[in-house]
Amino acid sequence: MTRGAHGHEKVGEEILRVLCPNCRNRVTIESGEDEVKCPHCGNKVKRPKKK
């Protein structure tokens, strides 16, 4: 994850945080990724569908 000058994310990059349905751990999905493996339980977490 890219950090800005004060430790916050840089503006302009899409970074989405989604809760894992199995262990409720917060998983970070960056732009261009559709699914990510949860580092805690190993479950695949998918990007939510746009409404």
Task: Write down the pLDDT at residue 32.
Answer: 87
- Polymer length in residues for the chain: 51
For the chain, how long is the longest CA-to-CA vector? 34
Strand ranges for the chain from DSSP E: 15-19, 26-30, 35-37, 44-46
Distance CA 41, CA 39 (A): 6
Q: What percent of the chain has pLDDT over 70?
A: 75
Distance CA 10, CA 4 (A): 5
Give, for all 51 residues of the chain, the pLDDT tens digit: 566 666 666 666 678 999 999 999 999 999 889 999 999 999 999 998 877
Model pTM above 0.85: no
